[in-house]
Amino acid sequence: MNFDNNLPIYVQIGDYLKRQIISGKLKEGDKLPSVRDTSKELKVNPNTVQRSYQELEREKLVFTQRGMGTFVTEDKDVIKNLKKGYANEIIKNFMEDMKTLGFNSSDIIELVYEIIGEEK
């Protein structure tokens, strides 16, 4: 994993973990790797990893059980909302980009249909 953007590292680690939850690599109730192991894997200061875990906990995406570790939430709605949030963000950026290029909403929908058709 490259930390090559300007966001704080703890935010970038949080994003990396959220993407794993969204894609199902980390499933509901799964145990997250320990702070130590994540720190070693990503070569990041363990205090920074700890902060990412705390932020995810604050967002209710994970919970900590004393002496057991940190686990992905079992609340399906929370994960659904997370997914939706990411999807909205991606689509919003895409729409903005297309609009700067001069496409209007119906042009965009038409193009998306076309491309989906080609994929099938």
Partner 1 sequence: MELANNIVEINNLTKRYGNKTALNKLNLNIQNGKIIGILGPNGSGKTTLIKILAGILRQTKGEVIIDGYSPGIYTKSIVSYLPDRNFLYNWMNIQDAIDMFKDFYTDFDEGKADELLKFMKLDRDMKVDGLSKGMKEKLNLTLVLSRKARLYILDEPIAGVDPVARDQILDAIINNYEENSTMLITTHLVRDMEKMFDEVAFISEGEIILEGNADKLREEKSMQIDDLYKEIFG
Which CB contacts under 8 angstroms, 24+ apart, belong to 107-112? none
Question: Which 1-30 residues touch partner 1, going by CB under 8 A?
Answer: 3-10
- 3-class SS at 20? helix
Residue 55 CB, shortest distance to partner 1, in Å, is 11
Tell me the C-alpha distance between 15 and 20, whole Å: 9
Question: Which 35-64 residues touch partner 1, going by CB under 8 A?
Answer: 39-40, 42-48, 51
Residue 21 CB, shortest distance to partner 1, in Å, is 22
Tell me the C-alpha distance between 43 and 37, whole Å: 9
Residue nearer to partner 1 on the CB measure, 7 or 95 = 7
- 3-class SS at 119? helix
Pick the stretch among 24-32, 34-42, 78-86, 110-118 that binds partner 1 (CB under 8 A): 34-42
Residue nearer to partner 1 on the CB measure, 44 or 72 = 44
Residue 34 CB, shortest distance to partner 1, in Å, is 13
Write out the two tokens for 98. Answer: 């297309």
Q: Which residues bind partner 1 (CB under 8 A)?
A: 3-10, 39-40, 42-48, 51
